[in-house]
Amino acid sequence: MPDPVPAPGALAWPAETRVVGHSTHRIDAEAKVTGRARYASDIQADGWLYGMILRSKWPAARVAAIDLAPALQVPGIVAAVPARDGERTIRFYGEELAAVAGKSKQACLDALRAIRVTATPLPFVVREDDAKADGAAPVWDTAANFIPGTPKEQGSVDAAFGECAAVVEGFYTTPVQIHHPLETHGNTVSWTDDGVTAWASTQGIGSVRDGLAGALQLDQSRVRVVTEYMGGGFGAKFGPGVAGILAAKLSRQAGAPVRLMLTRFDQALAVGNRPSSFQKIRLGALADGTLHAFDFENYGTAGIGAGKASEGGGGGANLPMPYIYKVPNVRTKQAAVAVNAGPASAFRAPANPPASFGMEGAMDDLATKLGVDPVAFRIQNDPNPIRQREYKVGAEKFGWAQKYRRPDPAALALATAGPIRRGVGCAGANWGGGGNKNTGAEVEIHSDGSVEVRLGVQDIGTGTRTVIAVVAAEVFGLAPEQITVRVGDTRFPPGPGSGGSTTCPSVSPAVLDACTNALRQLQTQAGLSDIRDAKGANWAAACRKLGAGTVAARGMWQPGLSSSGAGGVQFAQVAVDTEIGLVTVEKIVAVHDCGRIVNRVTTESQINGGIVMGLGYALYEERVMDPASGVVLNPNFETYKLSGMADVPDIDIVLLDMPERGVIGIGEPATIPTAAAIANAVANALGVRVFSLPITPAKVLAALGKVPSPTPA
């Protein structure tokens, strides 16, 4: 949807761009490849202490007392604080109990072991189906684990199914996925009488400032958050979190800055995840291939974030169905189920990848049943004209017409020599995004021609710093590396959180506005009667005329330069070994649009990243809970598998540049359709569908009838 139409004569992107839309090296790449870039976890503030959190080993317990005195006896330990005062109930394995600060990591490890916790274990439940059952252990005292959703109906679904020429049904499940940024959550916090400074590994410096101020009862103006570099977030790193607040309290008690970074184990337990989904789908089409009826029932868990009626939080288990397709008769019924596990949080394109997996699977099975081509079937039923175009572009690039064969299990079994079968699949993505109108920027132009642009935004790894340099360079007629970009400080003009694919459409207009204002000011302030255009070749001469002066200008996000609504389609080719069940993704073709491309190379890198993450969601990633003990069984990288170097397929990216639409983000849509496309390719290869992510070898073999189903009923 386009933003409000700007007034005539309003700020606009140049008709011809010299830097915007081309490819510029990340301006901070050198800092990153030399180790010079300082991340939150690298901060060594004067006199800093190491911080660490004690976590519950019980999935549910009543904690009567926490004795921190023995921890304070450990040599080197300077401070110890409880996570909460007084008696309390623990609701998941890994919930925070207390924290310590000391002069070394070793001292902290010893101190955590010394803390005495008096607690009574309580009954718990960690599996979705168990939590729904009668008599299940209650996760919350004040709310049921599961309250069935209210059906929402559009049209007349039951009657409509009677009119369908073909109907498919399936039960699709997706796992709880963990964000696992390579830098864990954490902060270095210094709390003195002057206020709080937090060096945070965050994707929202403003959210950390406001969260700390609220929790510590300080004025927001007395909290400063600095994030020069941070090592990934993917939705989980907003706000200070429990760890940030504990670091602040430790700092206050110790009288020294405290660096408290989570361990990799902590990361898997307590700081967010993507909810699971259990989707019962029924989809029907008329004889001409038009989608006609859709019936959907779904539940999923957001851990303790679900069922939390008294404290808010819907659980995030609701999926946008029937996703990108137009169906006249639709019935949906969805609800979240609470279990004793860490709460969910936003995760790259929340709710979209699971929705895409379920819906696109049903689409492919229905196309097979109707005997129509899945790409043509999508173009017929997806009303979005950009995506329709992308399917055509992608099919051509991928060689869909040559590669696609209608799956026929009997023929496949006979025709295939050897155990390897190949298949192809596709899926589409949709994302809103859009710019944040409260984004500001400030620019200083110095008499030596150097330029500084400052924004209170953070670069989460998408290349925000470089985007800012690109836009500024465009306006001033300079090269991007001539622009000094300063981000990641709440003392700079307010910027958006890096989430929802909103950063680029927020900062690009603000920088364009600020730089345009600065250029205008340079013309007048320097009294440039003899230089009509201060840009480019005249830049140095124009700036020299500032003498002892400096141009300082500000700008804000302006309408008409960005918009929302990004699409994209992806095609996957897989090879499946039917003897051992292993799926190898051989090729992905990704066709995406995000309006006006600001920096092509970093845009493509984000698409790579979305695909690699989607690959993990498709084949490898799943948080595994033990129903007997209530613990997370795979809180590390040896048992929670991310896509590795050898797993990543050949990726071909086609970017549709649509400058007329303004700037739109790309982070979320890039990861949405990958798992669905891979799952469809696997189904195409096998002639039977694996209805459950991740598509492990055991599930493939079970789908082929070679082993019993590994999925608990």
Partner 1 sequence: MNAPDPNPDDAPLLGTHSRRAFLKGFGAITISAAASQTQAVAAELEKLNAEKIVGPGPVPVTLRVNGETLSLSLEPRVTLLDALRNVSTYTGTKEGCDRATCGACTVLLDGAPIYSCQMLAIEAQGHAITTVEGLAQDGKLTPVQKAFAERDATMCGYCTPGFVMAATALLKENPHPTPADVRRACSGNLCRCGTQPRVVEAVLQAAGGAADNGTPGDLHA
Instruction: Please give the residue ranges that form the binding site for partner 1 (CB under 8 A).
Output: 19, 22-26, 28-39, 41-42, 44, 50, 104-106, 179-184, 229-232, 234, 261, 263-264, 460-463, 479-481, 600-602, 604-606, 608-613, 636-638, 642-646, 648, 651, 653
Calpha distance 570→592 (Å, rounded): 8
Q: Name the minimum Å distance from CB 382 to partner 1.
A: 26
Q: Name the minimum Å distance from CB 649 to partner 1.
A: 9
Q: Name the minimum Å distance from CB 33 to partner 1.
A: 4
Amino acid at 632: V
Burial of 33 (0-12, 13-18, 19+ CB in 10 A): exposed
Tell me phi and psi for residue 343, to 5 degrees. -70, 150
Q: Which is nearer to partner 1, 184 or 517 (CB)?
A: 184
Asked if 524 and 487 count as a contact pair (C-beta separation under 8 A), the reply is: no
Q: Which is nearer to partner 1, 447 or 584 (CB)?
A: 584
Q: Name the minimum Å distance from CB 419 to partner 1.
A: 22
Q: Which is nearer to partner 1, 291 or 572 (CB)?
A: 572
Q: Name the minimum Å distance from CB 486 to partner 1.
A: 17
Q: Name the minimum Å distance from CB 209 to partner 1.
A: 21
Q: Name the minimum Å distance from CB 37 to partner 1.
A: 6
Instruction: Classify residue 1 by its DSSP letter.
Output: -
Tell me phi and psi for residue 247, to 5 degrees. -60, -40
Instruction: Find tokens 């890039």 and name the residue.
Output: 670
Q: Which is nearer to partner 1, 262 or 359 (CB)?
A: 262
| Cβ atoms < 10 Å from Cβ of 44 | 10
Calpha distance 545→517 (Å, rounded): 18
> What would the DSSP string read from start to end of 538-602?
GHHHHHHTTTT--EEEEEE--TTSBB--EEEEEEEEEEEETTT--EEEEEEEEEEE-BS-S-HHH
Calpha distance 678→569 (Å, rounded): 12
Q: Name the minimum Å distance from CB 468 to partner 1.
A: 14
Q: Which is nearer to partner 1, 132 or 179 (CB)?
A: 179
Q: Name the minimum Å distance from CB 608 to partner 1.
A: 5
| Cβ atoms < 10 Å from Cβ of 262 | 23
Q: Which is nearer to partner 1, 611 or 700 (CB)?
A: 611
Q: Name the minimum Å distance from CB 564 to partner 1.
A: 23
| Cβ atoms < 10 Å from Cβ of 161 | 17
Bridge partner list, 329:
293
Q: Name the minimum Å distance from CB 358 to partner 1.
A: 24
Which stretch of DSSP H or E encloses residue 43? Answer: none
Q: Which is nearer to partner 1, 498 or 525 (CB)?
A: 498
Q: Which is nearer to partner 1, 32 or 116 (CB)?
A: 32
Q: Name the minimum Å distance from CB 698 to partner 1.
A: 22
Bridge partner list, 552:
444
Q: Name the minimum Å distance from CB 96 to partner 1.
A: 19
Calpha distance 631→59 (Å, rounded): 7
For 385, the token pair is: 């004209």
530 contact partners, CB below 8 Å, separation of at least 6 = none
Q: Which is nearer to partner 1, 411 or 479 (CB)?
A: 479
Please give the C-alpha separations between residue 66 and each of 70, 90, 117, 242, in angstroms, as whole numbers.
10, 13, 5, 17
Q: Name the minimum Å distance from CB 634 to partner 1.
A: 12
SS3 291: strand
Tell me phi and psi for residue 418, to 5 degrees. 85, 175
Q: Which is nearer to partner 1, 489 or 604 (CB)?
A: 604
Residue 694: is the preceding peptide bond cis (ω within 30°)? Answer: yes
Q: Name the minimum Å distance from CB 348 to partner 1.
A: 11
Q: Which is nearer to partner 1, 346 or 690 (CB)?
A: 346
Amino acid at 555: G
Q: Which is nearer to partner 1, 82 or 233 (CB)?
A: 233
> What would the DSSP string read from start to end of 309-326?
GGG----S----TTTT--
Tell me phi and psi for residue 294, to 5 degrees. -140, 125
Q: Which is nearer to partner 1, 601 or 658 (CB)?
A: 601
Q: Which is nearer to partner 1, 174 or 177 (CB)?
A: 177
Q: Name the minimum Å distance from CB 501 to partner 1.
A: 15
Burial of 113 (0-12, 13-18, 19+ CB in 10 A): exposed
Amino acid at 71: A
Angle (CA) 287 288 291, round 5°: 85
Bridge partner list, 333:
297
Q: Name the minimum Å distance from CB 446 to partner 1.
A: 21
Given its phi and psi angles, is residue 288 left (phi above 0), alpha (psi -120 to 50 degrees) or beta? alpha
Calpha distance 583→574 (Å, rounded): 7
Calpha distance 593→561 (Å, rounded): 16
Q: Which is nearer to partner 1, 36 or 520 (CB)?
A: 36
Q: Which is nearer to partner 1, 367 or 470 (CB)?
A: 470
Please give the C-alpha separations between residue 576 and each of 413, 583, 699, in angstroms, as whole numbers.
13, 5, 12
Q: Which is nearer to partner 1, 234 or 691 (CB)?
A: 234
> What would the DSSP string read from start to end of 56-111?
-SSSSEEEEEEE-HHHHHSTTEEEEEESSSSSEEE-STT-EEEEEEESSHHHHHHH
